[in-house]
Structure 1
């Protein structure tokens, strides 16, 4: 079955770090404690972005690190909460899947089997399915976002970068914490963790999370809530340290969600006839109506069910004081089933169901050498994955001028198997105490096998048990790539480092599961980057800058083709930009931050057709001689030109505790959702504000009041032009409205 239901008989009551009033922006991973500032200035954060522990300020790549205390301060419960804190990162959600884009490179297709160009890793384990990336934010030590191609050290599909979540490990001292949030839309969230030593060599940690809120909108036909959330998650870890040199960490996690989220919203018309006349969507012509951006008018209530779980074994052995060996073995299972509606305007024409299950096994081996001169990593990686996915929807013949009867309609789906293997090495060698050179390389091999079907059936009346009529299409393809990296970094002064690098990125080709078409070519990117990292004013100012240029070829770009959401290879793109991260403590306990990015992302040459505008641009034809559009010079989807994130946070003492006030302002330029750069398939420039007030008692009890999206802005998270059978309406998803509430939390 596409959705394998598991009943949860017990769930460790909710989990994670409670909201913290610490005025710093990160958490020191070595100490696993809240950041503080004060006389020592802005606290440092230790990262493992290069698969070894080092200060984020000593890491010669563009990496943003957000500690667990900062995540808790903002009440972050999923990946979307960090997007405004990382220059160049755009995060949205569509049909339950995370759409991650870094510097214009990401995923532009959410059909089953699609893969992101931004790698997602949790505790070193690669997550192939983007839907599972939304289910990991509790009991988190830190999040690291590596911007730019990670073609040397990271497993698969990291042409855009990598998002790494590191959770809190078990401790031998007993620690516990709990938090409870109540807010508008009947929000009740709970989190908890418990960590202790069972013996002097064995420790355990349990953490859990429960999220519940009512609908942000309403189905005006049924009166039911939509865009609500009901999820539960639990994670357990067992740490063994049988000797001083051997460490064994076993982990297991489970996530379950069942609600009415992930329904398409109606945004307006998009179609034009060959003569250029606008087309009114079919649903409106047949008596439907516009329910507004937050509500829907669907004859059937939406349904969203998701289940993710996994196991991992992380074994490290110190061969000597400078040499260590690590084995990371993992299994991941994911399943989701989404019932939505391509015509949410008051009549029942084209309901649609998305379903996918995935089983993923991965194994990574690392040999690490850490001396005064050499920081060497040598490794091998293997992954096997099997995906079963489908998209199907019966069609009401009213949509094409027929009687009020449903026929079998549309089906696409099948099975996609992937075997991926790689060997890699990277060494950072200190030429002098101030000058270092980094050289790395990775050889990747990947084979994909597909067995899929596609059908559009107008002949047979709808029977949910019936399958597609056409035979299974089978194909396979092998992809190989060599991705090197070379870089230099130099300390031009104390606490001031400059760096420069050249690297290549690779994302394997794939099949559009359910299209029965040939394989797509791999994506490739040549990346050049320069940067500066500095800590000034006796530790009270941190200023990090990066500039980059990408030569990007064979982009896998998403579009609607018939009833399919498919990828196709665009010819090439050029991307360059500047990013800055600044943190200032002008006076004790006042922290000001500015994160900003400027991005130029343009197609260099890309010709394609738009089924919603069959006449094309009047002069261009595609490779088949059909009317098309020349998109050269258009911006890449999900790639705003400018983003600015401003925050101010101030703490001061009160009787019996302290008070922290935090304000955030996030501004983004227009975001296009398709390569055609149409204003009606975009989110115009927007600005949102959030505010937090935390009162922390000396006994560790904390009270945090929050309000997000203060102006109650309606912001589109994604959008697409649906099938011409419905008159090409624009449909998509919206971000949450104004939310506010109170969190009570404590650590013990």
Structure 2
């Protein structure tokens, strides 16, 4: 269980958990639901740890009888741990890390599980850990930042989940289940106030409308001052202005359930928490160096920067640009994120078959201006943004073939259309434009069989096949606002359009069309054995793939193919001492081929650039442990830990570096291009150790209950960038690479959180005080070094300072 009051898990009833059709063969389901409904809270008379029903395999199963590594967090557990959005989940599950901050927008959740992640989730490249909201796949990681309000349960699935959850689940999946409407009228209101003038109000109302028909609406708003300030402009940094609403209608016709849902989330701020750590004087112009030096990150100004955004350039071209383009100059940093979605889920039975249809629509739009150098000098400022519209349809059929053999099968379709842009101003010049339109289509068929060999021994086998189609059109310009066919010096084409055109270039047309198709399988096979009522063991092997795609910001490069992952996992789940001790563990070994690796190379006609290619074979292995102990009535101690490591297969990962006068040869024919073996580099977003522990003590006081919780979360060092210089490079270049490696790694850090809450039984009122990062730890959440390629700087995205506040929750 996660390192948060695991005994507070409020096991849902059978009606509440049905997000997918129940596995009809599984004798554990009925027992588990019955136990969950009857089990008291930990700390009551029996002191036992509650069971919980999960849908980690798209069927209802007891958590302790589910043969995969999964962490389940109930609504109360999320409140106790102060989990407000997906990024907060890192402190709740082993092997899960979530990066924050980027050179573009800060509206992304860079999720990695077991070292499977993606730090460039552009529109034509998908995340390695899929996010699902009420069964609907979320295509863009920005949508994954949706507020976790009025949530029934969050499940963190670790390891490949390609059979039932589809593509892009090579690392795992985040399965978010919101509360359905019920037949009881309820109202819940929550107010919060804290330091940094943090104020929020959230509310939920559930209304029965007629027999079998009910509606539920939840919403919130939050405003907070910035964690820091710009020391030049006095503007706040990393403030928050957030609005969220979700509505659901459920109709239960006695055999047919229909759930319609919609949600909307908008958040904005005045710039992310970024600072410059160092710079390379051999690259940065001398005139810029004093400004950079004045903005360097120090412990005394940890939550501050001097970012000023875009500058107004001199020269004759700027006054001739269109007014809307000129308005982009002289703008200070900001971030805006808007997401919304709709879904319809219909469940029913035809004879002995259970049928389900899940229809989804997700929209995501983000727009930001980031001052990458975080200083007063105009080194690099970037407008980055994207918009995505994703329509999906899934059908499921499940049932029994015999008393011992059951199945779930189905089909999936998804279509995403959108655009993405990156408009950068370098050294205070004119803004360059890199943008693309993209259309992504996917089709999948899947089936999984369950066979009860004996009452205790079960076998499972599943298979899925996926067809993907990726179509993109690039529209890149050297100067934003000039006609595409205008003459511009220094471009590969001699005109403003900088792509390889597939259509004639005109003043308004600059198109490079790219089309690709991919297809690949996913599979799952395993055995599990119920040794005793309290001991469950399993072994499984799985295969999955992450979809291929295009490099949108570097035209002329080939598409990259799907990366393929297979693993072996074994685990046990055990309850001991009258359910006062729960211990779950999983060991895994993962093989990844056709790795979608980020390389830095010289591309003819483009120059030095960073892009994704299939390069490298990876091995990752580790162990994950989760422990919950109730030593006596009222006290719950929870802990989880992961130990993991990995490496590239020797000789499988390389890049080309141009070294003048070296005489190097390479297969691509780049002059003086030296092939560098990168297989010794560390893997990204793979901390070797991670540890979370919490304790909750409950005291009955008067007509209520006082709960005191303390939690400590530690994550080991992580690499966000790693480079290696060719042997032919100069000593100075090798030294620069060494410095870049040092700044491409963030140190490990630990955070201490706490919460004290007093809850009355009558009226339904809770008053709580909380603190996050109570020791005010100064830590770095991510680094972005570019010391030797083009910019000559290294950025740090620092973590949040200590926060504290009070919450009041009232319901009836």
* TM, length-normalised to structure 1: 0.89
Q: How many Å separate the matches in 1 of 2:575 and 2:609?
A: 50
The count of corresponding residues between Structure 1 and Structure 2 is 709
1:731-742 matched pairs, under 5 angstroms:
731-742=795-806
Please say if 1:522 is aligned against 2:556. no
What whole-Å deviation, never above 9, does each CA across 1:84-110 have from its counterpart, x for those lacking one?
211100012232110000000011214
Structure 1 gap ranges (5+):
1-20, 398-405
Trace 1:682-701 onto structure 2 (pairs within 5 A): 682-699=745-762, 700-701=764-765
Is the partner of 1:558 in helix, strand or coil?
A: strand
Counterpart in the other structure of 1:346? 376
| Residue 686 (structure 2) pairs with residue 645 (structure 1) | no
Cα deviation digits, residues 423-474 of structure 1 (max 9, x gap): 00112211111000001000111010111133445998999xx985543211
Offset of residue 396 of structure 1 = 3.1
Classify the secondary structure of the residue corresponding to 2:77: helix
Q: Is the 8 A contact 2:639 2:692 kept in 1?
A: yes
* 1:318 and 2:349 correspond: yes
Pairing 1:369–2:399 present: yes
Q: 1:490 Cα deviation (Å)?
A: 0.5
Q: Is the 8 A contact 2:617 2:653 kept in 1?
A: no
SS at match of 2:305: coil
Residue by residue over 1:235-287, the C-alpha shift from the partner in whole angstroms, topping out at 9 and shown as x without a partner, is 0001112x311111101111111222436432323x597xxxx9799842566
> Which of residues 87, 96, 102 is equivalent to 1:89?
96
User: 1:285–1:121: structure 2 CA closer, same or farther, 3 Å change rule?
Assistant: same
2:210 match: secondary structure: coil
Task: Report the counterpart of residue 503 of structure 1 in structure 2.
Answer: 542
Give the whole-Å Cα distance in 1 for the aligned partners of 2:275 and 2:540: 43
- CA 1:184/1:610 → structure 2, altered by over 3 Å: closer, same or farther? farther
Tell me the distance in 2 between the aligned counterparts of 1:42 and 1:617: 67
1:57 is aligned, of 44, 53, 64, to: 64
Aligned to 1:591: 636
Map residues 398-547 of structure 1 onto 2, 5 A cutoff.
Answer: 406-408=429-431, 410-457=432-479, 468=497, 470=499, 471-516=510-555, 517-547=557-587
Equivalent residues of 1:617, 1:628 under 8 A apart? no
Pick one of 219, 222, 226 that aligns with 2:230. Answer: 219
Match of 1:167?
178
Once the two structures are overlaid, the 10-residue window that deviates more, 521-530 or 616-625, is: 616-625
Question: How far does residue 338 in structure 1 lie from its aligned partner after superposition?
Answer: 0.6
Distance change (3 Å), C-alpha of 1:645 and 1:629: farther
Q: CA deviation at 1:154?
A: 0.8
In the alignment, which residue of structure 2 is the partner of 1:299?
308
For 1:296 and 1:546, how far apart are their aligned partners in 2? 43
How far, CA to CA, are the matches of 2:790 and 2:550 in structure 1?
27
Residues in 1 aligned to 2:286 and 2:186: alpha-carbon distance in whole angstroms:
58
Task: Report the Cα distance in structure 1 between the residues aligned to 2:583 and 2:662, rounded to whole angstroms.
Answer: 46
Residues 786 and 793 of structure 2 are in contact (CA less than 8 Å); yes or no, is this contact kept in structure 1? yes
The C-alpha deviation readout for 1:651-708, integer Å capped at 9, x for no partner, is 0111231111111111121111124392312211211111111111222211111111
The 3 A distance-change label for structure 1 pair 369 and 458 is closer
Q: Deviations over 1:509-536 (max 9, x none)?
A: 1001232221012110111110101111
TM-score by length of 2: 0.82
Structure of greater Rg: 2
Query: d(CA) in 2 for partners of 1:332 and 1:520?
Result: 25
Which of 424, 433, 441 pairs up with 1:393?
A: 424
What corresponds to 1:182 in structure 2? 193
Query: What is the aligned partner in structure 2 of residue 200 from structure 1?
Result: 211
Secondary structure of the equivalent of 2:109? strand
Are 1:706 and 2:783 counterparts? Answer: no
For residues 711 and 347 of structure 1, the distance between their equivalents in structure 2, rounded to whole angstroms, comes to 34
Q: Distance in 2 between matches of 1:641 and 1:521?
A: 28
Q: Mark the CA change 1:482 to 1:725 in structure 2 (over 3 Å): closer, same or farther.
A: closer
Q: Which has the higher strand share?
A: 1
Give the 3 Å change call, closer, same or farther, for CA 696–102 of structure 1 in structure 2.
same
Q: CA deviation at 1:168?
A: 0.3
Provide the rounded CA distance (Å) in 2 between the counterparts of 1:186 and 1:628.
54
Instruction: Map 1:627-646 onto structure 2 (within 5 A).
Output: 627=674, 629-646=676-693
SS of match in other structure, 2:90: helix
Which range moves more in the overlay, 689-698 or 540-549?
689-698
Partner of 1:701, secondary structure, is strand
Identify the residue that residue 18 of structure 1 maps to in structure 2. none
How big is the shift at 1:619?
A: 11
Counting only pairs closer than 5 Å after superposition, residues 242-321 of structure 1 correspond to structure 2 as 243-262=253-272, 264-269=274-279, 271=280, 283-284=288-289, 288-292=293-297, 293-300=302-309, 301-320=332-351
- Partner of 2:314 in structure 1? none
SS for the counterpart of 2:645 is strand
Aligned equivalent of 1:36, options 38, 41, 50: 41
Shift of residue 492, structure 1, vs aligned partner = 1.5
Between the aligned partners of 1:139 and 1:580, the Cα distance in structure 2 is: 28
Question: Secondary structure, in 3 states, of the residue corresponding to 1:740?
Answer: strand
Contact 2:125 2:548 in 1 (8 A): no
Segment drifting more, 715-724 vs 74-83: 715-724
* 1:4 matched residue in structure 2: none
Provide the rounded CA distance (Å) in 2 between the counterparts of 1:616 and 1:594: 57
Alignment partner for residue 66 of structure 1, among 49, 53, 73?
A: 73
User: Relative to structure 1, is the Cα distance of residues 295 and 468 closer, same or farther in structure 2, using a 3 angstrom cutoff?
Assistant: farther
- How far apart are the structure 2 equivalents of 1:294 and 1:486? 49
Distance of 1:22 and 1:155 partners within structure 2:
32
Alignment partners' CA distance in 1, 2:355 and 2:378? 59
Cα contact 1:283–1:343 (8 A) shared by 2: no
Output the CA distance in 1 between the equivalents of 2:269 and 2:582: 43
RMSD between superposed Cα atoms in Å: 2.9
Distance verdict in 2 for CA 1:58–1:456, change over 3 Å: same
Alignment partner of 1:601 is 2:632:
no
How far off its partner does 1:71 sit? 0.3
Is residue 25–residue 35 contact of structure 1 (8 Å, CA) maintained in 2? no
